[in-house]
């Protein structure tokens, strides 16, 4: 898909999501900074991947954008209008076109409802379509995701995990969104099913002119499907840029460590060049300066003094590292 320059569908500026840390007496003793001063844009028609270790804030970012978690600060602009502002009446109408696909596809499906009722529900809530019009849209979307009409009379437990993902996607597409946030959309699936689902994502993107925010820990999948990627560490974006540029020449030490962990067929074992050691620091007690410095092999004295900003020192690539070159 051709991506038009300066056609932003989503703009995020200084986004924060903090969770209170409380002691046994329910008193707040600090903040867990799950998303901390994040800024980026998404162009209409592109696929932006978000990667990082478990606990880095990927899913919290997606849920904060969607409004599942109210933001602690910052600005989210979607389709030219700010969302997430208390009392803003247009939020609900705008969020109809910003949809979230859960990591567990069954989480969005009521086990007591048949698939047909689950697909009709968002149309009943968000539209004024007649029963006949709803039926027509449901049948069209079900066909688009590659499921037969007979699935409308089945319950979620009667279909496979891959089929549940298709149903979850169909439920989102009934509202005709322009941007979909995918949270680990291929986790738990066999490799062959993963390939089928990814091809379906690409086909639907072309057919419905969709934009994706693709949250995943699978770097091989991200490289195959994403136009750009953002690398997160402890609530921060530490590197962002075009996918091939980052894979070919990562600038941030954390990005290098992630990419070195990708298994290579016929190449060295993962542990031969994977130097990242230890666990991330306690997110409730972050180190001063660069929050990656306690695990970084090239950290210097300056890294403890201040937090490095994202530097746009390279074409199609930015990294938050004082020592990146």
Quick one: tokens of 171? 């439920």
Measured between alpha carbons, how far is 74 from 76 in angstroms, rounded to an integer? 7
Q: What is the DSSP string of 279-294?
A: PPPPTTSPPSS-TTGG
- Dump strand ranges (E) for 153-284: 179-183, 211-215, 228-233, 236-242
What distances in angstroms separate CA 123 from CA 116, 146, 217, 229, one per listed residue? Answer: 12, 20, 32, 33
Give φ, ψ of 149 to 5 degrees: -60, -30
Contact, 181 vs 215, CB < 8 A?
A: yes
Could you give the CA distance from residue 278 to residue 263 in angstroms, rounded to a whole number? 20
Radius of gyration of the CA atoms of the chain, in A? 21
* H or E stretch covering 123: helix 115-126
**Pairing mode of beta strands 311-314, 317-319:** antiparallel
The rounded distance, in Å, linking the Cα atoms of 132 and 124 is 12
Q: Which of 277, 280, 276, 324 is nearest to 302 (CA)?
A: 324
CB atoms within 10 A of CB 231: 27
- CATH architecture, domain 8-97+177-319: 3-Layer(aba) Sandwich (3.40)
| Residue pLDDT tens, the chain, 325 long | 445 556 899 999 999 999 999 999 999 999 999 999 999 999 999 999 999 988 899 999 999 998 889 999 999 999 988 887 655 555 667 778 999 988 877 777 889 999 999 999 999 988 889 999 999 999 999 999 999 999 999 999 999 888 998 999 999 999 999 999 999 888 877 788 888 889 999 999 999 999 999 999 889 899 999 999 999 999 999 999 999 999 999 999 999 988 887 766 665 544 445 567 777 888 888 999 999 999 998 888 989 999 999 999 899 899 999 988 8
């Amino acid at each position: 898909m051709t991506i038009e320059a300066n056609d932003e569908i989503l703009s995020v500026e200084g986004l924060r999501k903090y969770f209170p840390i409380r002691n046994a007496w329910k008193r707040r003793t600090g903040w867990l900074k799950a998303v901390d001063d994040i800024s980026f844009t998404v162009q209409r028609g592109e696929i932006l991947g978000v990667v990082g270790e478990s606990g880095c804030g990927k899913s919290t970012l997606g849920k904060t954008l969607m409004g599942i978690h109210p933001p602690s600060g910052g600005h989210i602009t979607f389709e030219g209008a700010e969302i997430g502002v208390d009392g803003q009446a247009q939020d609900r109408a705008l969020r109809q076109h910003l949809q979230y696909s859960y990591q567990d596809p069954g989480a969005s499906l009521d086990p007591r409802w048949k698939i047909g009722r689950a697909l009709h529900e968002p149309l009943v809530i968000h539209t004024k379509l007649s029963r006949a019009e709803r039926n027509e849209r449901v049948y069209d979307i079900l066909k688009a995701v590659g499921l037969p009409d007979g699935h409308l009379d089945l319950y979620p437990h009667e279909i496979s995990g891959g089929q549940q993902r298709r149903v979850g996607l169909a439920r989102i597409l009934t509202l005709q969104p322009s941007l979909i946030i995918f949270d680990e959309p291929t986790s738990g699936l066999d490799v062959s099913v993963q390939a089928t689902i990814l091809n379906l994502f690409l086909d639907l993107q072309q057919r419905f002119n969709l934009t994706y925010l693709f949250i995943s820990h699978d770097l091989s999948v991200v490289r195959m499907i994403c136009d750009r990627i953002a690398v997160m560490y402890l609530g921060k974006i530490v590197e962002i840029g075009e996918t091939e540029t980052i894979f070919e020449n990562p600038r941030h030490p954390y990005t290098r460590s992630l990419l070195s962990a990708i298994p290579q067929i016929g190449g060295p074992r993962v542990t031969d060049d994977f130097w990242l050691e230890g666990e991330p620091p306690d997110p409730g007690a972050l180190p001063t300066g660069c929050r990656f410095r306690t695990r970084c092999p090239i950290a210097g004295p300056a890294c403890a003094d201040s937090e490095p900003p994202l530097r746009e020192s390279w074409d199609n690539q930015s990294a938050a590292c004082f020592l990146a070159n």
